[in-house]
Amino acid sequence: MQNKPYKPKLLWLQSITCNGNTHSFLNHPDLFSILENFELIHHPTLDSEYTMADVLSKNVPCDILILEGSVIENGFKKAGVEVSSLIHAYAGKAKHIISVGTCATFGGIFKQNNPEEISGLCFDLEEKTQHYEKYASKLISLPGCPVHPRWLSFVLLMLAKNKSIDIDSLHRPKELYGYTVHNGCTRNEYFEWKIDTKNFGHKEGCLFYEQGCQGPYTRGSCNKILWNDTSSKTRVGTPCFGCTEPNFPQQSLFTTKTNMGIPAKIPLGISKRAYLTLTGVTKSFKIKRFSKDLLEYD
Protein backbone atom coordinates (compact mmCIF):
# COMPACT_ATOMS: atom_id res chain seq x y z
CA MET A 1 0.00 0.00 0.00
CA GLN A 2 1.21 3.44 -0.88
CA ASN A 3 1.66 5.78 2.02
CA LYS A 4 -0.42 8.91 1.77
CA PRO A 5 1.63 12.08 2.20
CA TYR A 6 1.44 13.38 5.75
CA LYS A 7 -0.97 16.23 6.16
CA PRO A 8 -0.30 18.66 9.00
CA LYS A 9 -3.04 18.59 11.61
CA LEU A 10 -4.80 21.92 11.86
CA LEU A 11 -6.65 23.11 14.94
CA TRP A 12 -8.62 26.39 14.86
CA LEU A 13 -9.26 27.56 18.41
CA GLN A 14 -11.43 30.52 19.44
CA SER A 15 -10.83 32.61 22.51
CA ILE A 16 -12.43 36.05 23.15
CA THR A 17 -13.68 36.86 19.67
CA CYS A 18 -16.52 38.02 17.42
CA ASN A 19 -15.90 35.12 14.98
CA GLY A 20 -14.95 37.71 12.36
CA ASN A 21 -11.72 35.93 11.40
CA THR A 22 -13.61 32.69 10.92
CA HIS A 23 -16.08 34.35 8.57
CA SER A 24 -13.38 36.30 6.80
CA PHE A 25 -11.56 33.07 5.97
CA LEU A 26 -14.80 31.42 4.76
CA ASN A 27 -14.82 34.11 2.03
CA HIS A 28 -11.67 32.66 0.47
CA PRO A 29 -12.59 31.52 -3.04
CA ASP A 30 -10.08 28.64 -2.93
CA LEU A 31 -10.93 27.59 0.62
CA PHE A 32 -11.33 23.89 0.06
CA SER A 33 -8.27 23.39 -2.11
CA ILE A 34 -6.24 25.12 0.60
CA LEU A 35 -7.72 22.97 3.34
CA GLU A 36 -6.95 19.89 1.23
CA ASN A 37 -3.35 20.26 2.42
CA PHE A 38 -4.33 19.71 6.04
CA GLU A 39 -6.18 17.41 8.31
CA LEU A 40 -8.81 19.58 9.96
CA ILE A 41 -8.80 18.57 13.61
CA HIS A 42 -11.34 21.15 14.69
CA HIS A 43 -12.87 24.32 13.29
CA PRO A 44 -15.60 26.60 14.69
CA THR A 45 -18.01 25.99 11.81
CA LEU A 46 -16.54 23.61 9.23
CA ASP A 47 -16.97 19.86 9.55
CA SER A 48 -13.96 18.47 11.37
CA GLU A 49 -12.40 15.27 12.65
CA TYR A 50 -13.00 15.83 16.37
CA THR A 51 -15.75 17.41 18.46
CA MET A 52 -15.30 20.38 20.78
CA ALA A 53 -15.62 17.98 23.68
CA ASP A 54 -12.59 16.10 22.30
CA VAL A 55 -10.70 19.38 22.00
CA LEU A 56 -11.56 20.20 25.62
CA SER A 57 -9.85 16.97 26.71
CA LYS A 58 -6.58 18.56 25.51
CA ASN A 59 -5.70 15.26 23.86
CA VAL A 60 -6.39 15.84 20.18
CA PRO A 61 -3.41 16.15 17.84
CA CYS A 62 -2.25 19.59 16.71
CA ASP A 63 0.61 20.51 14.35
CA ILE A 64 -0.65 23.98 13.49
CA LEU A 65 -2.64 26.01 15.98
CA ILE A 66 -4.71 28.87 14.61
CA LEU A 67 -5.71 31.12 17.48
CA GLU A 68 -8.60 33.57 17.01
CA GLY A 69 -9.47 36.04 19.77
CA SER A 70 -7.77 37.74 22.66
CA VAL A 71 -6.60 35.91 25.74
CA ILE A 72 -7.44 36.08 29.44
CA GLU A 73 -5.62 33.76 31.83
CA ASN A 74 -8.60 33.26 34.14
CA GLY A 75 -12.33 33.69 33.77
CA PHE A 76 -13.32 32.41 30.32
CA LYS A 77 -14.39 28.80 30.42
CA LYS A 78 -15.85 26.46 27.82
CA ALA A 79 -17.82 23.65 29.47
CA GLY A 80 -15.85 24.19 32.66
CA VAL A 81 -12.43 24.28 31.01
CA GLU A 82 -10.38 27.49 31.10
CA VAL A 83 -9.82 28.54 27.50
CA SER A 84 -6.31 29.75 28.35
CA SER A 85 -5.42 26.26 29.53
CA LEU A 86 -6.57 24.91 26.16
CA ILE A 87 -4.51 27.49 24.33
CA HIS A 88 -1.39 26.59 26.30
CA ALA A 89 -1.97 22.85 25.92
CA TYR A 90 -2.16 23.09 22.14
CA ALA A 91 0.32 25.93 21.70
CA GLY A 92 2.84 23.78 23.56
CA LYS A 93 2.14 20.82 21.33
CA ALA A 94 1.98 22.66 17.99
CA LYS A 95 4.91 23.09 15.59
CA HIS A 96 3.46 26.38 14.40
CA ILE A 97 1.17 28.94 16.03
CA ILE A 98 -0.69 31.41 13.85
CA SER A 99 -2.39 34.24 15.75
CA VAL A 100 -5.13 35.40 13.39
CA GLY A 101 -6.57 38.85 13.86
CA THR A 102 -5.53 41.78 16.01
CA CYS A 103 -7.19 40.32 19.14
CA ALA A 104 -5.12 37.12 19.21
CA THR A 105 -1.99 39.02 18.20
CA PHE A 106 -2.05 42.21 20.30
CA GLY A 107 -5.22 42.08 22.42
CA GLY A 108 -7.33 44.17 20.04
CA ILE A 109 -10.68 45.70 20.70
CA PHE A 110 -11.77 43.44 23.56
CA LYS A 111 -8.69 44.30 25.55
CA GLN A 112 -10.22 47.73 26.11
CA ASN A 113 -12.84 46.40 28.50
CA ASN A 114 -10.21 44.85 30.76
CA PRO A 115 -6.78 46.22 29.83
CA GLU A 116 -5.07 44.69 32.85
CA GLU A 117 -6.01 41.09 32.14
CA ILE A 118 -6.80 40.76 28.43
CA SER A 119 -4.02 40.68 25.82
CA GLY A 120 -2.83 38.85 22.76
CA LEU A 121 -1.14 35.50 23.30
CA CYS A 122 2.46 36.67 22.85
CA PHE A 123 2.00 40.44 22.66
CA ASP A 124 0.15 42.87 24.87
CA LEU A 125 -0.15 45.80 22.50
CA GLU A 126 3.50 46.00 21.37
CA GLU A 127 5.01 44.52 24.55
CA LYS A 128 5.97 40.87 24.81
CA THR A 129 3.83 38.85 27.21
CA GLN A 130 5.18 36.29 29.69
CA HIS A 131 4.41 33.61 27.08
CA TYR A 132 6.47 35.16 24.32
CA GLU A 133 9.73 33.29 24.98
CA LYS A 134 7.94 29.95 25.15
CA TYR A 135 6.22 30.30 21.78
CA ALA A 136 8.41 32.77 19.87
CA SER A 137 10.19 30.14 17.77
CA LYS A 138 6.93 28.97 16.23
CA LEU A 139 4.83 32.12 16.21
CA ILE A 140 3.44 33.86 13.15
CA SER A 141 1.36 37.00 13.69
CA LEU A 142 -1.43 37.90 11.29
CA PRO A 143 -3.01 41.02 12.74
CA GLY A 144 -5.99 42.70 11.08
CA CYS A 145 -9.55 43.17 12.20
CA PRO A 146 -10.42 40.74 10.75
CA VAL A 147 -7.51 38.80 9.25
CA HIS A 148 -7.41 38.94 5.45
CA PRO A 149 -8.34 35.50 4.06
CA ARG A 150 -5.54 35.52 1.50
CA TRP A 151 -2.93 36.48 4.10
CA LEU A 152 -3.91 33.45 6.13
CA SER A 153 -3.91 31.18 3.10
CA PHE A 154 -0.42 32.40 2.16
CA VAL A 155 0.92 31.40 5.58
CA LEU A 156 -0.91 28.07 5.57
CA LEU A 157 0.35 27.12 2.13
CA MET A 158 3.93 28.16 2.95
CA LEU A 159 3.80 25.95 6.04
CA ALA A 160 2.26 23.07 4.09
CA LYS A 161 5.12 23.30 1.59
CA ASN A 162 7.70 23.50 4.38
CA LYS A 163 8.90 26.91 3.24
CA SER A 164 10.26 29.39 5.70
CA ILE A 165 8.42 32.64 6.21
CA ASP A 166 10.43 35.80 6.72
CA ILE A 167 9.00 37.71 9.68
CA ASP A 168 9.53 41.09 11.39
CA SER A 169 10.05 41.85 15.08
CA LEU A 170 6.33 41.42 15.79
CA HIS A 171 6.42 38.09 13.90
CA ARG A 172 4.39 39.41 10.97
CA PRO A 173 5.29 37.98 7.53
CA LYS A 174 7.31 40.62 5.70
CA GLU A 175 5.68 39.78 2.39
CA LEU A 176 2.32 40.85 3.80
CA TYR A 177 3.20 43.61 6.25
CA GLY A 178 6.19 45.15 4.46
CA TYR A 179 3.65 47.29 2.64
CA THR A 180 1.57 50.06 4.14
CA VAL A 181 -2.16 50.20 3.48
CA HIS A 182 -1.34 53.35 1.52
CA ASN A 183 0.59 51.29 -1.09
CA GLY A 184 -1.74 50.72 -4.02
CA CYS A 185 -4.47 53.05 -2.81
CA THR A 186 -6.37 54.45 -5.77
CA ARG A 187 -6.22 57.90 -4.14
CA ASN A 188 -2.42 58.08 -4.28
CA GLU A 189 -2.28 60.93 -6.79
CA TYR A 190 -4.30 63.11 -4.43
CA PHE A 191 -1.95 62.21 -1.59
CA GLU A 192 1.06 63.17 -3.69
CA TRP A 193 -0.39 66.59 -4.36
CA LYS A 194 -1.88 67.04 -0.89
CA ILE A 195 -5.45 67.32 -2.07
CA ASP A 196 -8.02 66.26 0.47
CA THR A 197 -11.46 64.89 -0.33
CA LYS A 198 -14.16 67.47 0.19
CA ASN A 199 -16.51 65.17 2.06
CA PHE A 200 -17.26 61.48 2.35
CA GLY A 201 -18.71 59.92 -0.75
CA HIS A 202 -16.31 61.05 -3.47
CA LYS A 203 -13.92 59.09 -5.66
CA GLU A 204 -11.64 62.09 -5.64
CA GLY A 205 -9.33 63.31 -2.91
CA CYS A 206 -7.21 61.83 -0.15
CA LEU A 207 -8.62 60.82 3.25
CA PHE A 208 -5.33 61.38 5.13
CA TYR A 209 -5.72 65.10 5.79
CA GLU A 210 -9.14 65.36 7.42
CA GLN A 211 -11.02 62.05 7.46
CA GLY A 212 -8.61 60.21 9.76
CA CYS A 213 -7.04 57.78 7.28
CA GLN A 214 -4.15 55.88 8.88
CA GLY A 215 -3.11 54.16 5.62
CA PRO A 216 0.28 55.90 5.26
CA TYR A 217 1.51 54.55 8.60
CA THR A 218 -0.43 51.27 8.92
CA ARG A 219 1.22 48.02 7.94
CA GLY A 220 -0.78 45.69 5.72
CA SER A 221 -1.25 44.87 2.05
CA CYS A 222 -4.99 45.73 1.90
CA ASN A 223 -4.53 47.72 -1.30
CA LYS A 224 -2.27 45.14 -2.93
CA ILE A 225 -4.25 42.03 -2.05
CA LEU A 226 -7.78 43.36 -2.16
CA TRP A 227 -10.59 42.52 0.25
CA ASN A 228 -13.14 40.03 -1.02
CA ASP A 229 -10.92 40.03 -4.13
CA THR A 230 -12.44 43.32 -5.16
CA SER A 231 -11.85 46.41 -3.00
CA SER A 232 -10.59 47.99 0.21
CA LYS A 233 -11.71 50.59 2.71
CA THR A 234 -9.84 53.47 1.12
CA ARG A 235 -10.99 52.51 -2.38
CA VAL A 236 -14.60 52.98 -1.26
CA GLY A 237 -13.80 56.24 0.50
CA THR A 238 -13.58 54.88 4.04
CA PRO A 239 -10.47 55.87 6.00
CA CYS A 240 -8.06 53.15 7.09
CA PHE A 241 -8.55 52.74 10.86
CA GLY A 242 -5.20 51.07 11.44
CA CYS A 243 -6.83 47.76 12.32
CA THR A 244 -3.62 45.76 11.84
CA GLU A 245 -1.69 47.87 14.35
CA PRO A 246 -0.99 46.94 17.98
CA ASN A 247 -2.93 49.95 19.31
CA PHE A 248 -6.14 49.34 17.33
CA PRO A 249 -8.72 50.78 17.92
CA GLN A 250 -7.73 54.33 18.78
CA GLN A 251 -10.08 57.27 19.37
CA SER A 252 -11.79 59.66 16.91
CA LEU A 253 -11.37 57.33 13.98
CA PHE A 254 -13.02 59.58 11.38
CA THR A 255 -10.95 62.69 12.14
CA THR A 256 -7.30 63.46 11.43
CA LYS A 257 -5.50 65.00 14.36
CA THR A 258 -3.49 67.92 13.06
CA ASN A 259 -0.64 70.13 14.20
CA MET A 260 -0.61 73.56 12.57
CA GLY A 261 -2.81 72.17 9.77
CA ILE A 262 -0.52 69.19 9.10
CA PRO A 263 -1.46 65.61 10.10
CA ALA A 264 0.04 65.04 13.56
CA LYS A 265 1.18 61.57 12.57
CA ILE A 266 3.05 61.50 9.30
CA PRO A 267 3.75 58.64 6.87
CA LEU A 268 5.85 55.73 8.13
CA GLY A 269 9.60 56.39 8.28
CA ILE A 270 9.43 59.92 6.86
CA SER A 271 11.07 62.70 8.81
CA LYS A 272 8.89 65.64 9.75
CA ARG A 273 11.26 67.96 7.96
CA ALA A 274 11.08 65.99 4.72
CA TYR A 275 7.30 65.81 4.94
CA LEU A 276 6.88 69.53 5.65
CA THR A 277 9.25 70.52 2.86
CA LEU A 278 7.45 68.35 0.35
CA THR A 279 4.04 69.57 1.50
CA GLY A 280 5.11 73.17 1.08
CA VAL A 281 6.32 72.51 -2.44
CA THR A 282 3.33 70.49 -3.66
CA LYS A 283 0.82 72.85 -2.16
CA SER A 284 2.33 75.74 -4.09
CA PHE A 285 1.09 74.21 -7.33
CA LYS A 286 -2.47 74.22 -8.57
CA ILE A 287 -3.06 71.22 -10.83
CA LYS A 288 -6.11 71.83 -12.96
CA ARG A 289 -6.86 68.14 -13.52
CA PHE A 290 -7.34 67.58 -9.81
CA SER A 291 -9.94 70.32 -9.53
CA LYS A 292 -12.23 68.24 -11.75
CA ASP A 293 -14.09 65.03 -11.07
CA LEU A 294 -12.42 61.89 -12.40
CA LEU A 295 -15.16 61.18 -14.90
CA GLU A 296 -15.32 64.74 -16.24
CA TYR A 297 -12.05 64.88 -18.16
CA ASP A 298 -13.20 66.10 -21.57
Partner 1 sequence: MKKLQIKQLIEKIEGEAELDFTFNDGKIEDVKINFGFYRGIEEILRGKTARDALVITPRVCGICNHAHLIAAVRAIEDGYANAGENITLTSKAKDIREFTLICELIQNHIKWLYMTMLPQLESYLDKKSGENYAIKATYLASRITKALAIFAGQWPHSSYAVPGGVTCDPTYVDVMQAQSLVDECIKFFERVVVGLSLDDYLAIDSVSSLHKVDGDFGKLLHLIGDNGMSTIGQSYDKFIVFGDSILSNAGKSIVTNISNVDVKYVSESSQEGSVAKAVTYKNKLFEVGPLARGMVAKTPIVKSLHKNYKDSLLSRVFARVHEVALLLAHSKKLLAKLQLDELSCTLDPHSKLDDFEGVGIVEAARGSLIHKTTVKNGLITNYDIITPTQWNLSHGNETQQGIAIKAMVNSTTIEEATFIFRTFDICSVCTTQ
Q: Nearest approach, Cβ of 56 to partner 1 (angstroms)?
A: 8
Q: Nearest approach, Cβ of 35 to partner 1 (angstroms)?
A: 10
- Residue pair 298/290 in contact (Cβ under 8 Å)? The answer is no
**Long-range contacts for 261-264 (Cβ within 8 Å, ≥24 apart)?**
263/208, 263/209
| Helix (H) or strand (E) run with residue 103 in it | helix 101-106
Q: Which C-beta is closer to partner 1: that of 46 or that of 167?
A: 46
Residues found near partner 1 in the complex (CB under 8 A): 14, 16-24, 26-29, 31-32, 44-47, 51-53, 56, 76-79, 109-110, 112-114, 145-146, 198-203, 210, 227-238, 241, 243, 249, 251-255, 295
Q: Which C-beta is closer to partner 1: that of 139 or that of 142?
A: 142
Q: Which C-beta is closer to partner 1: that of 199 or that of 247?
A: 199
Q: Nearest approach, Cβ of 269 to partner 1 (angstroms)?
A: 26
Q: Nearest approach, Cβ of 9 to partner 1 (angstroms)?
A: 18
d(CA 235, CA 32): 29
Considering only CA atoms, which of 90, 70, 165, 83 is closest in space to residue 134?
Answer: 90
Considering only CA atoms, which of 153, 162, 165 is closest in space to residue 6?
Answer: 162
d(CA 223, CA 231): 8
10: amino acid identity, one letter: L
Instruction: Show Cβ contacts of residue 228 under 8 Å, excluding neighbours closer than 6 positions.
Output: 27
Q: Which C-beta is closer to partner 1: that of 260 or that of 295?
A: 295
- Residue pair 80/128 in contact (Cβ under 8 Å)? The answer is no
Q: Nearest approach, Cβ of 126 to partner 1 (angstroms)?
A: 20
Q: Which C-beta is closer to partner 1: that of 24 or that of 129?
A: 24
Angle at 250 between CA 245 and CA 254, to 5 degrees: 110
Q: Which C-beta is closer to partner 1: that of 96 or that of 239?
A: 239
Q: Nearest approach, Cβ of 26 to partner 1 (angstroms)?
A: 5
